[in-house]
Structure formats: C-alpha cells, structure tokens
Amino acid sequence: MAGGMAGEARRTTGPLSGVRVADFSVHAAGPFAGLMLAELGAQVIKIESSARLDITRRTHTMYGKPPSSFEQINANKMSACLNLKEPRAVELALELVQVSDLVLENFRPGVMDRLGLGYGTLREVKPDIILVSLSSNGQTGPDRNYAGYAPMFAALGGLGHLTGYSDGPPVELRHGMDHTGGMLGAFAAVAALCAKRGNNLGQHVDVSLRDMGSSFIGPALLDYAMNGREAIRQGNRDESAAPQGVYRCRGQDAWVSISVASEVEWQGMLRAMGNPVWAQGDEFGDAFRRWKAHDRLDGLIDVWTAKHTPSEAADLLQNHGVAAAPSLTPDQLLSNDHLLERGAFPKILHSEKGEQKAVAPPWRLSRTPAVIDQWTPDLGENNLDVFHGILGLSASEVKRLQEAKVIW
Amino acid sequence: MVNPRPATPAALDGLRVLELAGMVAAPFCGKLLAALGADVLKIETPMTGDPSRRRGPFPGDVPHHERSGTFLYLNTGKRSLTLNVDDPQGRIILGQLASQSDVLIHDIQPGRAAALGLDQEILSQIDQDLIVAAITPYGSSGPNANHIAYDINVFHAAGEGNLLPNGLALDRFPDRAPITAGSFMGSYQGGIAAAVGIAGAVFAKMGGLHGQSVDCSIQEAQLAIGYLPIQRLEAEGFVETRFSRFFRVGGVMPAEDGYVELLTLEPRQWESLGEFLGSPEWAAAERFEDPAAHGAEINRNVRDWTGGRPKDWLYHQGQAQGVPFAPYYTPKEVFENPHQRDRGYFVNVDHPEAGSYDYAGLPFRMSETPPSLERAPLMGEHNDQVLHSMGYTPEDVVMLARAGVI
C-alpha cells in the first residue's frame, strides 16, 4: 500500500471537495490534470488495468524501471482496476460515471467510443456529465488521429521553433508540455464544473495540446499576420530588455539570469558591478545601443559575474533593484531557503520508502487549502473502496470479478 | 461589454473580475476567464497603460499603444479603465470596484501590494465575498517575495531553465549558458496555473463559501509542472542536468526544409520506424532495446535519412505508418496550417485602431459553453461607462481626468 484513500472517504479541504472524477487517462498530460483536481480536493478515481499498464507502472526502455519518480503524477488519487475489454467492466465503468461529476481521458480520439464510453453513451447514463478529453491535436481536424508526445505538441504548435540558440536547432520541450496541457485541462474542467454548478450543464471539453503550443506564441503569430515576419528563436534574449541573459558565474556550471528592462535598472546594475570603467562612456548609454552591442556587452558582464557565485551575483543585483536569479539545479531547488519557507516540498509518508518530499500544489488558498498528502496508490489498491464502497457490489462479487479478470 | 456575446451561455457568465496586472502571466489568466464569459475589467496606469502596449509587434512596424500585438492578444474580451492607484481617490475607486467584484487578480508583489492597501486583511474587510488572486514571481511570502523578476529569471529560478537545451548541450553546445523557453512560456504556465486556482475558488464560492485569497507563485507553478527532476532526485538520488536529459533514440532531427521531432517510445513504434526507413540493419528492432549501446548510431543514421526529406512528408508519411514524427513549424506554417484551420482554431478579430487579423484562438473547446474571442479594449475605453455606473457625474469624470486619477 503506497498511499491511497481509505473507504469512501472524500477529500475535505480543497475547493473541489465533494466532486468525483473518473479518471481514465494514462501517461502524463491527463493524469496531471487529474492530479491538479485531486490537489484541489476532488475525489479522483484512476481507472486502470493490468491488461494494459499505464506507462508509469511498468519498466520502460526510455524511462527505465518502474520509476519511483512517478510517485507524484497520480498522488491523492484512488486506483480501481477495470479491464475494459470485458463488457461487464464497461458496465461498471458506466455505473461509476453515473455517480461521478466529471470524466477525464486522453486516448486518441475515437478510443472512448470504441470502448463503449463515448460522450453520447456517458450522457445517456448521466445527462449532466462533463467529459474532458485531452489530446495531441484535438478531437477534430485532419491530423486528429496522429500520435503525439510532449515535444511534438511544442513542435507542431510553433513554440519549439522559438526555443533554442539563434544559431542552433529548435529545442525539445519535454514533460513540462504534457503537464502544462494537464494544467490547461484542469482549468477547462473546473470551468465546466462551474457551468454545471451554475446551470446544470454537462458537456464535452476538447483540449488540444498542439493548440496550446500555438496559444503560447500568440504575439509571434500576430507578427506574421500583421507583417509577414517570421519570429525566430534567440536563446536567452528578448527585445524588451538589454542586457538580458544567463551569465557564467564562479563555480562548476554555475549561472545567473539577469534582465535589465529600464534605464533605472541599468544604472542599478552599474552600481552593483562597482561602476566599471567600460560603462563610463556612451557606448552602452541607452537600451538601443545596448541591444545593438549585446554580444560585446555580454562578454563584459561575464567577466563580472565570473567573480561571483550565482547567489552572490543575484543578491548584489537585487540589492540595486535589478532582476537577477540563480539558474537553479534540482538539488539547489530542494534546499532553496525561499521555497522551503513557503513549504514548497511537503513530506508525505511512503509505506516502503519512509518520508519523501513532494512538490506542493501551485496555489495557497486561504479558505479551502489545496494539498498533496498521499502518494500514488498501488494498482487496484482501492478496488474494494470503489466497487463495494461506492458502487455497492458485495465484497464476494468484487472478488469474483477480480478472479474473472473484469476488475483486473 | 463592448461586443455582443454569442447567444450561447458561457461557463463563467456573470463573473465580475478586476484585473490589475501587466505583461503576460496575469493578463493571460484574465484572458482565459474573459473567454469563458467573465466580465474582466482591466485597470491600466493612465497615459502609459499595460507595458505590453509598447512591446509590439505593430502593424507595419509603426509603434502605437493601441496596435501592439502582445497587448491585443493577451487582453481579448476585457474592458479597460485607466486608474492611478497611487492616488488617494484612485485607491478609493479601486476599493469601490473591488467591493462590486467577485475576483480581483493582481500581479503586485507583497511589499507594494501592502502599500496600496491590497493585502488580504484590508480587502477582506471590504468584502467577505471577494476572491483576491496575487500572481507574482515568487508568491506573497518568503524571503524572495519582493525580488524583482522577469520571465527569464523565474524560469531559471524554477529549475526548467537549468535543464534546457537538454542533450543539445552535450552534443553541440557544452560551453554555453542554459537557455529560456521562447515566447514567455513560463509566464503562460503561471497564468494557466493561477486560472485553475481561481476557478476553484469561484466554484467553492458558487457552492456557498465566502471569498478567499489565492496566492499564486509563478515559480511554484513552474515547479509543479516540472516536478519530475525533483522526484527523480528525491526518490532515486539522481540529479538531472541538461547534459543527461535527452532521448537516446529520436529527438530533434534535421529535415530538408527545417527540423522534425521523432519520438518512438513503444516497441511497435520502433518496428514501424524500421520499416519506414526501409528496414536497414542498423534499425533492427532489437537495437532499440539497448538505446545506450545503439542509440547514437541509430540517431546518426536517422539524421542522414531525414535530412534529405521535407518535414511535412516525414510527418504525414511517418504518422500514416505509425511513426511519431512532428515538424517544427514556423509561425507562417502554424498560421497557414490546414489542421488548425480546419478546427477553426484561428479567429478573426477586428479592432478599431489595429485592424482586422486572424488571432491564435483558445486551446480548448466546450460543447455547451463555447469560449469566445473578442477584441482587446482601447486604453481607458470604458472609463465613462464604469465611472458613470458607480455614480460619478460626467463633470466628476472630467475632474478625475484633470487630477490625473484616471
């Protein structure tokens, strides 16, 4: 027993407490949406099966052994098994839908229909059900059935093209794209819950992660619409600030980010650097000149930052009103004073591994706190809770269905 | 509202939102709420407005504060009131507006927020039913809460920055600085995460609870999204770096006309890839099972093969044969893309000053409460409407303008 929720217990603290979610999603984007809803207090039941283990449950060539690093993605949830190839399992899934508010899935379009769990069917058994579908390309359009993973959404959407060194290839945006899609799915889900609470409306929500990639480059797309100009990646630079960059500091692979967006900030930076001689003249006297001479300027700044550790440089610059922050590594994040003081890494007891740090929910809600307090449950850990406790099957019937590989 | 809304209901119809924020993160959050029917009133500093009004892109490259693409895109569907919140009367108006709102979104760091009277204690006295969401770089508490930060700083303070450009760092640029995702991605992530928390608080309020404060740290939003390296370290003791993080098989591949992404995560996809490549020995299925031994060779050969072929050919032919390819599309290619056009992703928006353009649309659909995209407001476009509805006379409005309050 890794985590899991006892009995029919509902989560009590978050704004979504009382909401029940049937989560059929797999891999990263969908489960992350479910995680956000669970952190906000929804009772999220992960429906999964030994017949087709979620990628985070099995040894994987790319990811290695069933990684304990996936403990977080299905945290706070219950796990119930259904082998959806069995008609009785589909019936049970529909019974669960009848007592749920929202269904989450991220299969390719059409798969839920083939499973007998399409929106039309769900609506027949529960007229105000909300179905949230996350997919690479959306539920419509000629590419809808194409496979997609995180870096591919960013590539297709145009965000990948805009990330990277100006003289290098585009850069893969990794699992963050999946999870951001999950965050977006969680937003659409909660908005649909509001519509349901306000107007008793159920509906089908279609979240496209490729469209999300495009929605992050809205201004670049307008630049093309307005001027026919194609924006290109430019490393750490941005036209709104000069200098701006990530600069080498004292220490092994140590870096500080700096961004100077105004004349006042530039003056502050000069003071922080001890008013260097090279900045006395007009060469870097305004943002335009600094932008035009950015390469040379970066070299001069590097000489100064190289004398300091990232936090020394950042502190000096902050003291003079300049935006600067160390480029933090995972171990530095876990020991970061600010994050620790804010409780960004709550400890959760793991039955086998003892206390392990999780990453906190990204909101501090004063009246209805969001929490993460239980690790990903074991496969089927809550079979009895769900099928006996919630759906009312007898314990012996649950056992029989387990033996028949329906609850499996 | 400026524009008539469609006849269909919207998910957040009737929600009154006050937005005191600039640039990307909090305005994107406000834009999402506006698209779902919330009445979002944006407070802008008189004369200058949201800094994104000066950022561009501008039609014909002629700078104009009503024609900046960044502003036009991030503020669709909102109303605009110019208000000097440093002025005593300005703060009174802000307080009055807050008492008539369901949600106040702001991006003001705690030191200055307290000086403006925006800390929760004061606002909760104004109205028990107000939801106050602060969307700030490092959150509303902690030693760095008042640190000045832009998109690049938060992105590197949240961990993902240090891990980019992934394996490219090893292959091509071992001596270069880690980079920042393009187009303010981290700020968009902060805005979406905040929107989730706010929508949650709205849902709770609809269920009969009072308002509350929602402290949204953009750093923590990115950390939540990028939790995996933290978990790998905590659970496995493995410190991920940009030199260790790459796909041993697949990744960014050159194409004749740009780049494609290739990702074969499942055995059936390796098999399909082998067939797609014409079943060469170096791409035999068993070689994929030991990526540490064979990944580099496979990738080298795949690069030679993809480099001579167009990216759209690789995409469509590859996908048809079960090989997950995706092209790195440029803005033009996204803008003209048949798939997104077919989905109706782009929305034509007409703006009285900027003109008529196709805008990137909303990245989700709702069958019963479809989101909508309406034009961004002119600076102070709704001053008269808002102030008159609050009981200020036309003469008062003139005086407020003269006094620099609005």
On the question of pLDDT at A9 being above 70, the answer is no
Question: At residue B185, what is the residue type?
Answer: M
Q: Hey, CA dihedral for B315, B317, B320, B323, is it positive or negative?
A: negative
pLDDT, residue B1, reads: 36
Residue of A269, A331, A338 to mutate, testing the B interface (most B Cβ within 10 Å of its Cβ): A338
Average pLDDT rounded to a whole number, residues A240-254: 97
State the DSSP string of B244-291: T-S-SS-EEEEETTEEEEE---SHHHHHHHHHHTT--GGG-HHHHT-H
Distance in angstroms between the alpha carbons of the first and the last residue of chain A: 17
For residue A4, name the pLDDT band (cuts at 50, 70, 90).
Answer: very low
Please list the pLDDT of chain B residue by residue as tens digits (406 residues).
Answer: 344 455 678 999 999 999 999 999 999 999 999 999 999 999 999 999 999 999 999 999 999 999 999 999 999 999 999 999 999 999 999 999 998 999 999 999 999 998 888 776 667 766 689 999 999 999 999 999 999 999 999 999 999 999 999 988 778 899 999 999 999 999 999 999 999 999 999 999 999 999 999 999 999 999 999 999 999 899 889 999 999 888 888 999 999 999 999 999 888 999 999 999 999 999 998 898 888 899 999 999 999 999 999 999 999 999 999 999 999 999 999 999 999 999 999 999 999 999 999 999 999 999 999 999 999 999 999 999 999 999 999 999 999 999 999 9
B170 torsion bin: left (phi>0), alpha (psi -120 to 50), beta (else): alpha
Average pLDDT rounded to a whole number, residues A53-82: 80
Residues of B in contact with A363 (CB under 8 A): 193-194, 196-197, 200, 214-216
Q: Do A188 and B364 touch (CB under 8 A)?
A: yes
Q: Which two tokens stand for residue A28?
A: 């990263």
pLDDT, residue B55, reads: 96
pLDDT, residue A355, reads: 93
Contacts of A275 (CB under 8 A, 6+ apart): none
Residues of B in contact with A219 (CB under 8 A): 55-57, 69-70, 73-74, 183
pLDDT, residue A177, reads: 96
Q: In 3-state terms, what secondary structure has residue A86?
A: coil
What are the residues facing A364 on neighbouring strands?
B215
Residue of B102, B129, B234 to mutate, testing the A interface (most A Cβ within 10 Å of its Cβ): B234
What are the residues facing A324 on neighbouring strands?
A258
Average pLDDT rounded to a whole number, residues A355-377: 96
Higher pLDDT, A99 or A2: A99
Helix axes B185-206, A175-199, angle to 10 degrees: 20
Q: Do B223 and A201 touch (CB under 8 A)?
A: no
Q: Hey, CA dihedral for B240, B242, B246, B248, is it positive or negative?
A: negative
Q: Do B328 and A184 touch (CB under 8 A)?
A: no
Lowest mean pLDDT among A176-185, A293-302, A345-354, B252-261: A345-354
DSSP code at position B184: G
The Cα of A120 is separated from the nearest Cα of chain B by a number of Å equal to 12
Q: Do B263 and A202 touch (CB under 8 A)?
A: no
Q: In 3-state terms, what secondary structure has residue A218?
A: helix
B369 torsion bin: left (phi>0), alpha (psi -120 to 50), beta (else): beta
Q: Do B331 and A230 touch (CB under 8 A)?
A: yes
pLDDT tens, A31-51?
A: 999 999 999 999 999 999 999
Instruction: Enter the ipTM.
Output: 0.97
Residues of B in contact with A371 (CB under 8 A): none
Q: Contact at 8 Å (CB) between A8 and A385?
A: yes
On the question of pLDDT at A3 being above 70, the answer is no
pLDDT tens, A165-202?
A: 999 999 999 999 999 999 999 999 999 999 999 999 99
Q: Hey, CA dihedral for B236, B237, B240, B246, is it positive or negative?
A: negative
Residue of A133, A177, A215 to mutate, testing the B interface (most B Cβ within 10 Å of its Cβ): A215
The Cα of A53 is separated from the nearest Cα of chain B by a number of Å equal to 13
**Chain B, nearest residue to A15 by Cα:** B204
Q: Contact at 8 Å (CB) between A320 and A326?
A: no
pLDDT, residue A69, reads: 67
pLDDT tens, A48-59?
A: 999 988 888 877
On the question of pLDDT at A327 being above 60, the answer is yes
Q: What are phi and psi of B183, to 5 degrees?
A: 60, 35
Q: Which two tokens stand for residue B250?
A: 């697949």
List the alpha helices (DSSP H) in B127-167: 151-157, 160-163
Instruction: Domains for chain B: give ranges and CATH numbers.
Output: 16-225+341-402 (3.40.50.10540), 251-331 (3.30.1540.10)
Q: Contact at 8 Å (CB) between A325 and A305?
A: no
β A364-365/B213-217 pair status: antiparallel
The Cα of A315 is separated from the nearest Cα of chain B by a number of Å equal to 9
Q: What are phi and psi of B152, to 5 degrees?
A: -60, -40
**Chain A, nearest residue to B204 by Cα:** A15
Instruction: Domains for chain A: give ranges and CATH numbers.
Output: 20-216+343-403 (3.40.50.10540), 244-327 (3.30.1540.10)
